[in-house]
Structure 1
Amino acid sequence: MIPYGRQDISQADIDAVVEVLQSDFLTQGPKVPEFERIVADYCGAARAVAVNSATSALHLACLALELGPGDRLWTSPVTFVASANCALYCGASVDFVDIDPRTYNLCPVALAEKLRVAEAQGALPKVVVAVHLCGQPCDMKAIDRLAKQYGFRVIEDASHAIGGKYADEPIGNGRYSDITVFSFHPVKIVTSAEGGMALTNDNALADQMALLRSHGITRDPALMTREPDGPWYYQQVALGFNYRMTELQAALGISQMSRLDDFVSRRHGLASRYDLLLESLPVTAPWQHPDSYSGLHLYVIRVAGTSHQQVFDSLREKGVGVNLHYIPVHTQPYYQSMGFDAADFPEAMAYYAEAISLPMYPGLTEQDQDFVVSSLSEALEKT
């Protein structure tokens, strides 16, 4: 089976993890802050907070922005459920904004219209999560203008996008958002096995996320409500969580970061080759916005008509591990129980009816790629 994505682990990665195993620290040592600084410096952000998953990072980002009961979070329906669930963890409500039919990201035109209606109804969101689907950044300038006009905060869910750029600047620099979240899951662009990170230029937000990732416990006398009893003393000053990243994960992440640009460049080479190979086939290849340099976590084609599932099944039968990213969140039973209807976001549903993620990862060979495309061609001929 050719998977849709997979990690690329080198001997240097293995050696980095073994070195930590032989050290004095397996958790809460020097590697986590080193990883945070490397990612922050790469992206041009002031601060980074490493955690055990991007889901945890989204949750902490929402808490740091004081999202809570009575508040609203809006995001794209075409995303992994974590982009919406993070609001529910905080007791807030969720709504969605339909996608742009070319980028598949949250549509700024639809967002502007929804905000206009929400303002009249007194129902504006407190937070908008802009998801950079497949690694292509959203139209962050437009979202930022709307954020300033309507007073909401912005989280970039850049789980697919580390190593990419928007308007010639690294994704994660925080120019158009309050917090940016990355994922280091094994199929992502770089991996720490499991892990995530939240980047921000606001020290208060970073401090709050760092506090909450470790049970809300501090040893800083400046944050305590009374004088320490002794050098052993710590104090819980907030209700936090165990969202810490281990030294093992950080060491792997540090090693992987040394190859980030090569990984993304390889993905672009594969994408360009796919573009050429697919020109004669009746599929829609991904469109890349000229203002963006995608991380290209995913390469999603669209197959129109009733042949979609037949093509998907045929590729799987041939050993091509295609996938579908994602089932629109508002169609999930849990969200439908809140009153959402599948027809609420037609562009998201049109995408879902046609999308197929082809294999995309640095270790994909040209021979593998040729087999993927020939298998796709055969599948299309049968429909």
Structure 2
Amino acid sequence: MIPYGRQDIQQQDIEAVLEVLRSDFLTQGPVVPRFEKAVAEKTGARHALAVNSATSALHMACLALGLGEGDWLWTSPITFVASANCGLYCGASVDFVDIDPRTYNLCPKALEAKMEQAEQEGRLPKVVVAVHLCGQPCDMAAIHALSQRYGFRIIEDASHAIGGKYQGEYIGSGRYSDITVFSFHPVKIITTAEGGMALTNDDALASRMNLLRSHGVTRDPTLMTHEADGPWYYQQVDLGFNYRMTELQAALGVSQLERLDDYVAHRHALAVRYDDRMANLPVTTPWQHPESYSGRHLYVIRLNLERIAASHREVFEALRVQGIGVNLHYIPVHTQPYYQKLGFQLGDFPESERYYAEAISLPLFPTLSEAEQDAVVIALEKALQSP
């Protein structure tokens, strides 16, 4: 089986982790700050805070922005559920904005129209989570311009996008957002096994997230409510969580980060090769914005179903039978049973539902060989001719 995604672990990664295992610190040592500093320097962000998952990063980002009961969080329906769940964790309500049919990202025009209506109804969002699907950045300048008009805060869910660029700057620079979140899950562009990171240029947001990731506990005298009783002293000054990243994970991240640009460049080369080999097939290959540089986490095709005899499911299953580990990113969040119970219905976001009816994620990862890639295309050609 050729998987849709796979980590690339090299000897230098193994040695980096072994070095930590032989050290005095397995957690809360010097390697996590080293990883944070390296990512901040790479992206140009002022602060980077490593955590145990991107979901944790999204949660504490929402809390740091003051999201709570009575507030609204908006995001795209085409994302993993965590991009929406983070709002519910805070007691806020969640709504969605339909996608752009070309980029599959949150559509700025749909966002503007929904903002105009929400302003009339008195239910403007406090936070908008802009998801960079497949690694291609959203139109952040347009979203930011709307935030200036309507007063919402912006989280970039860049779980797919580390190493990508927007307007010539690395994603994570924070030019058009309050907080950016990365994921380091094994199928992502670089991995720490599990892990995530929140980046911001705002000192106050960084301080709040730093507290939230470690139980709301501090030894910083400037954050305490009264003088310390002794050198052992700490105070809980906020209600936080145990969202910390381990030294082992950070060591792996530091090592992987050294190959980030090479990984992304190779993903681009593989994607271009896919484009060429599928040019005459009844599928739509991923469009790339000329002013952006995608992280290329996923390679999603859309089936031109009116031109083939097989159904979406038949093509998907035929690929799996041939040993191609395709996947589908993502089932629209508003169609999930939990969100249906919140009042969402089929038909609420038609462009997202059309995408779901046609999308298939093909294998794309750094160690994918040209022979394996050719096998994927041959299998797709056969699948398109089934049943």
User: TM-score of the superposition, structure 1-length normalised?
Assistant: 0.99
Q: Which of 369, 381, 384 is 1:380 aligned to? A: 384
1:230 Cα shift? 0.5
Are residue 266 (structure 1) and residue 266 (structure 2) matched?
yes
Are residue 81 (structure 1) and residue 81 (structure 2) matched?
yes
- For residues 135 and 148 of structure 1, the distance between their equivalents in structure 2, rounded to whole angstroms, comes to 25
Provide Cα deviations, 1:86-128, integer angstroms capped at 9, x if missing partner: 0000000000000000000000000000000000010100000
* Aligned residue identity for 2:338: Y
> Which residue does the alignment assign to 1:328?
332
Where do residues 157-196 of structure 1 align in structure 2 (5 Å cutoff)?
A: 157-196=157-196
> Which residue does the alignment assign to 1:69?
69
1:382 Cα shift? 1.8
1:225 Cα shift? 1.0
Instruction: In structure 2, list runs of 5 or more residues that go unmatched.
Output: none
> Which residue does the alignment assign to 1:278?
278
The 3-state SS of whatever aligns with 1:37 is helix
Are residue 28 (structure 1) and residue 28 (structure 2) matched?
yes
The 3-state SS of whatever aligns with 1:180 is strand
> Which residue does the alignment assign to 2:150?
150
- For residues 16 and 124 of structure 2, the distance between their equivalents in structure 1, rounded to whole angstroms, comes to 47
The 3-state SS of whatever aligns with 2:301 is strand
* Aligned residue identity for 1:187: V
CA-atom RMSD in angstroms = 0.6
> Which residue does the alignment assign to 1:300?
300
* Aligned residue identity for 1:144: H
> Which residue does the alignment assign to 1:207?
207
The 3-state SS of whatever aligns with 1:343 is coil
* Aligned residue identity for 1:258: E
- For residues 46 and 224 of structure 1, the distance between their equivalents in structure 2, rounded to whole angstroms, comes to 24
1:304 Cα shift? 2.9
Provide Cα deviations, 1:13-41, integer angstroms capped at 9, x if missing partner: 00000000000000000000010010011
Instruction: In structure 1, list runs of 5 or more residues that go unmatched.
Output: none
Runs of 4+ in 1 over 3 A off after TM superposition: none
Q: Would you say the 8 A contact 2:13–2:252 is kept in 1?
A: yes
- For residues 327 and 141 of structure 2, the distance between their equivalents in structure 1, rounded to whole angstroms, comes to 31
> Which residue does the alignment assign to 1:3?
3
- For residues 78 and 280 of structure 1, the distance between their equivalents in structure 2, rounded to whole angstroms, comes to 27
- For residues 304 and 214 of structure 1, the distance between their equivalents in structure 2, rounded to whole angstroms, comes to 49
Q: Would you say the 8 A contact 2:318–2:386 is kept in 1?
A: no
- For residues 172 and 124 of structure 2, the distance between their equivalents in structure 1, rounded to whole angstroms, comes to 25
- For residues 24 and 322 of structure 1, the distance between their equivalents in structure 2, rounded to whole angstroms, comes to 42
> Which residue does the alignment assign to 2:90?
90
Instruction: Report how many aligned residue pairs link the two structures.
Output: 383
> Which residue does the alignment assign to 1:369?
373
- For residues 7 and 354 of structure 1, the distance between their equivalents in structure 2, rounded to whole angstroms, comes to 27
1:227 Cα shift? 1.3
> Which residue does the alignment assign to 1:287?
287
Percent of paired sites with the same residue:
74
- For residues 233 and 61 of structure 1, the distance between their equivalents in structure 2, rounded to whole angstroms, comes to 27
